[in-house]
Chain A
């Protein structure tokens, strides 16, 4: 698993569902994804490769399928991913073997519970 798959696991998908999802994404048929999500994926890909070509029409497509506020959320998140990838690529940090985003094993009974998940990447 890479970090995105680990985070999909934290979001509630099991190993098989994650693999199916990623395999579909990697292929040429996105029909299983809702139209709004497909629009977001296409926006994110264009923004990743040619950010200077993102124009009014691209943002408007997101607004059309997500509404104004949610479209801004998608734009923000899509931009956020470029912070994360630059750090990962800059340092070539090795991937962890375990899902480091999952809660660690339960602490002894007298200690406060661990956070539900870690943030950061």
Chain B
């Protein structure tokens, strides 16, 4: 069962109300979100100089204050942190659709996740993109005065954040008609990034930097020499955990509400779905990609990847680079990783 901030259980009545919204009815939010848990960094932060010294070489001389999340991650995940800094700049400066609308969409996701850090960054990005204080006030007041197509985007952002499985075919179709397929793919990628980043910020307890939200860092890290695969990061032995460290019996009624057989049925139904966006062929998708990273003779067969790489080669490949970097650096147990992924897909009712 999903829960929304301040309202406890995400009940059937709310679900039905949201599910019945048409894109044009989609006035934004509802009740003010409560403040999140007190935000204090939960991991040691390196000072900027120390953090830069851990990062890979840059192709230029850009150095400066690093965001708190980077200073928290860099000690144990330096290469991943570098890929994330590049990713963050790309997503925060993307012009795949109106940058002001991009910042508003990011604001709505941050608000739904109760992530004050990301909300303030979104406000700063909105102003940087030419927005005004009035735009922020309009968002805080529920965005009711915005044009219908813009309100539809913001409602989409809220639903994608709070219960993505409740988004309807009609809502996505409306957005595609209004903005075009590539822009809608970019919106989804922005929301995907927001939901990744907000959870990380909240878990790390990242606080706004003393000088306020930092502008996107125009840094580019040097690629490792061709053919060189960086070694995994060194990880100490896992401590011996007592069996009592986590309960073995699950009493969560929502978790138990679907049997294994029912979960299998829903997954089977997913095979028969019609995609809401076109899935490009490899020959089309690879046109915008770096052939060194995506060799033409090694076709990608995963539809998820074909959609994001084919429609948004820059945004899509930057995320996949981040994933690959983390995979090599953290070198976690694959069975454990995918089992954790299973738990999350089940929690979100994402039968994929």
* B272 with A94: CB separation less than 8 A: yes
Interface centre among A33, A41, A114 (most CB of B within 10 A): A41
Contact code string B169-202 (vs A, CB < 8 Å = 1, else 0): 1001000000000000100110111011111101
- Kindly provide the distance from the CB of B112 to the nearest chain A CB, expressed in whole angstroms: 9
* A25 with B343: CB separation less than 8 A: yes
- Asked if A95 meets B270 with Cβ closer than 8 Å, knowing A3-B304, A66-B238, the reply is yes
* B96 in the interface (beta carbon within 8 A): no
Q: Kindly list chain B residues whose C-beta atoms are within 8 Å of the C-beta of A104.
A: 299, 301
- Quick one: which of B256-277 are within 8 Å of A by CB? 256, 258-260, 263, 267, 270-277
- Asked if A83 meets B195 with Cβ closer than 8 Å, knowing A77-B337, A100-B301, the reply is yes
Chain A interface mostly: helix
Contact code string A90-101 (vs B, CB < 8 Å = 1, else 0): 111111111011
Q: Kindly list chain B residues whose C-beta atoms are within 8 Å of the C-beta of A114.
A: 298
* B40 with A56: CB separation less than 8 A: yes
Q: Kindly list chain B residues whose C-beta atoms are within 8 Å of the C-beta of A115.
A: 298
* B303 with A29: CB separation less than 8 A: no
Please give me the residue from chain B that is nearest to A120 by CB atom: B305
- Asked if A41 meets B304 with Cβ closer than 8 Å, knowing A2-B270, A26-B346, the reply is no
Q: Kindly list chain A residues whose C-beta atoms are within 8 Å of the C-beta of B77.
A: 72-73, 76
- Asked if A4 meets B345 with Cβ closer than 8 Å, knowing A27-B256, A77-B340, the reply is yes
Q: Kindly list chain B residues whose C-beta atoms are within 8 Å of the C-beta of A21.
A: 339
In the bound complex, how far is the Cα of B25 from the Cα of A116, in angstroms?
48
Please give me the residue from chain B that is nearest to A88 by CB atom: B352
* A15 in the interface (beta carbon within 8 A): no
* A91 with B276: CB separation less than 8 A: yes
* A50 in the interface (beta carbon within 8 A): yes
- Asked if A93 meets B307 with Cβ closer than 8 Å, knowing A52-B36, A86-B195, the reply is yes
Q: Kindly list chain A residues whose C-beta atoms are within 8 Å of the C-beta of B211.
A: none
Interface centre among A34, A45, A111 (most CB of B within 10 A): A45
* A26 with B263: CB separation less than 8 A: yes
* B169 with A92: CB separation less than 8 A: yes
* B165 in the interface (beta carbon within 8 A): yes
Interface size class of A (residues with CB under 8 A): 35 or more
Q: Kindly list chain A residues whose C-beta atoms are within 8 Å of the C-beta of B15.
A: none
Please give me the residue from chain A that is nearest to B237 by CB atom: A67
Within 8 Å by CB of B350, from A50, A89, A96, lies: A89
Interface centre among B200, B263, B326 (most CB of A within 10 A): B200
Q: Kindly list chain B residues whose C-beta atoms are within 8 Å of the C-beta of A51.
A: 113-115, 198-199, 202-203
* A44 with B347: CB separation less than 8 A: yes
* B160 in the interface (beta carbon within 8 A): yes
Within 8 Å by CB of A69, from B236, B274, B319, lies: B236
- Asked if A76 meets B80 with Cβ closer than 8 Å, knowing A41-B343, A87-B192, A89-B160, the reply is yes
* B332 with A73: CB separation less than 8 A: yes
Within 8 Å by CB of A54, from B203, B275, B299, lies: B203
* B327 in the interface (beta carbon within 8 A): yes
* B73 with A72: CB separation less than 8 A: yes
* B16 in the interface (beta carbon within 8 A): no
Within 8 Å by CB of A70, from B189, B195, B204, B235, lies: B235
* B275 with A93: CB separation less than 8 A: yes
* B251 in the interface (beta carbon within 8 A): yes
* A81 with B302: CB separation less than 8 A: no
